[in-house]
């Protein structure tokens, strides 16, 4: 979808393949900012999670909170660039980590997953006790969980505005794409190599974890039974945010590249799938949280933070 105020990235021709854009973006990451880390309770009260803060130049500046993607952290390329852009504006910023992420071992009886809107809400309430104005952005898994929270809460949602980027809003469609073909070959083992050791450390279903070959296998063996879902089909259906998008009341920028290798174009939301509070932005290129662009300084990944912050500036 075209929006004159949000022009698409100037993607070089050799990165117009979604896989190429996704993977190349990681090579353009700069050094992370100097975060101030706090360990705070999670929503179960049985574990601590990491909040990595950037302090603004004014006490009354808004806070931008970022919820990362699967196995992401404050050192992920998108988080680094987003927090640096926030820092340049003089705003407060924080990357709120899900359980077991950011180098902090989880001691909770549950893990984290795409539909954990309860944890999103708890984190936002925790931050709202300190900051009077909050903008929220969610990336991929974190984006789906944030969108689900916004739909469930409606006008009660904490953020003054939000952005959801490269989110698998239809988890069943994303799962079918993810566990077959080139997407499976390129990404599945990367994620499983990180997820399975963490899952084994919980002692839950460790025998079944040894046989996981796909993310659906992992969700059947671990995510679904641990969190009260019947199987991965039930999990994907109940955790998807797309059915809740008509209930979103807070201003929301919903950004998905059409060539995202994690979500089929047919599953992208249309104007009929969302409330009037939702702005759909669907550039033809960008891959999965790639959005590599070119300007006079060469290739960079600044288009994403620039676009998100431009959207939030409307609500200042």
- Domain 13-169+242-313: CATH architecture, name and number where available: 3-Layer(aba) Sandwich (3.40)
d(CA 3, CA 281): 7
Among residues 73, 106, 117, 140, the one annotated as catalytic is 140
Task: Give the pLDDT score at 4.
Answer: 54
Among residues 19, 68, 92, 288, the one annotated as catalytic is 288
Average pLDDT over residues 184-190: 91
In the chain, ranges of CATH 3.40.50.1820 domains: 13-169+242-313
Per-residue pLDDT tens for 274-299?
Answer: 999 999 999 999 999 999 999 877 99
259, 284 Cβ separation under 8 angstroms: yes
Name, in order, each residue with C-beta under 8 angstroms of 1's C-beta and a sequence gap of 6 or more: 280, 281, 282
Task: Give the pLDDT score at 1.
Answer: 46
Is 273 in the active site?
A: no
Exposure class string for 268-280: b at 16+ Cβ within 10 A, else e: bbeeebbbebbbb
Average pLDDT over residues 298-309: 96
CB atoms within 10 A of CB 195: 21
Among residues 42, 170, 179, 260, the one annotated as catalytic is 260
Per-residue pLDDT tens for 80-116?
Answer: 999 999 999 999 999 999 999 999 999 999 999 999 9
Is 288 in the active site?
A: yes
Is 21 in the active site?
A: no
pTM beyond 0.85, yes or no: yes
User: 236 falls in which pLDDT band (50, 70, 90)?
Assistant: very high
């Amino acid at each position: 979808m075209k929006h004159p105020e949000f022009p698409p990235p100037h993607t070089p021709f050799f990165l117009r393949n979604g896989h190429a854009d996704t993977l190349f973006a990681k090579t353009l990451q700069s050094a992370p900012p100097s975060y101030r880390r706090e360990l705070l309770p999670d929503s179960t009260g049985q574990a601590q999670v990491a909040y990595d803060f950037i302090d603004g130049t004014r006490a009354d500046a808004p806070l931008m909170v970022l919820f990362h993607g699967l196995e992401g952290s404050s050192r992920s390329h998108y988080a680094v660039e987003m927090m640096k852009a926030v820092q340049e504006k003089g705003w407060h910023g924080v990357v709120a980590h899900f359980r077991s992420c950011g180098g902090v071992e989880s001691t909770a009886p549950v893990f984290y997953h795409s539909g954990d809107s309860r944890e999103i809400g708890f984190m936002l309430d925790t931050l709202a006790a300190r900051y009077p104005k909050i903008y929220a952005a969610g990336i991929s898994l974190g984006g789906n969980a944030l969108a689900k929270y916004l739909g469930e809460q409606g006008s009660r949602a904490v953020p003054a505005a939000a952005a959801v980027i490269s989110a698998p809003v239809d988890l069943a469609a994303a799962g079918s794409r993810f566990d077959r073909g080139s997407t499976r070959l390129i990404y599945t083992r990367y994620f499983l190599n990180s997820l399975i050791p963490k899952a084994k450390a919980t002692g839950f279903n460790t025998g079944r974890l040894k046989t996981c070959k796909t993310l659906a296998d992992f969700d059947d063996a671990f995510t679904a039974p641990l969190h009260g879902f019947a199987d991965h089909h039930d999990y994907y259906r109940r955790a998807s945010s797309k059915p809740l998008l008509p209930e979103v009341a807070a201003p929301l920028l919903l950004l998905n590249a059409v060539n995202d290798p994690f979500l089929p174009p047919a599953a992208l939301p249309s104007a009929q799938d969302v409330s009037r509070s939702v702005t759909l932005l669907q550039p033809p290129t960008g891959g999965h949280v790639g959005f590599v662009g070119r300007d006079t300084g060469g290739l960079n990944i600044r288009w994403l933070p620039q676009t998100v912050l431009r959207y939030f500036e409307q609500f200042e």
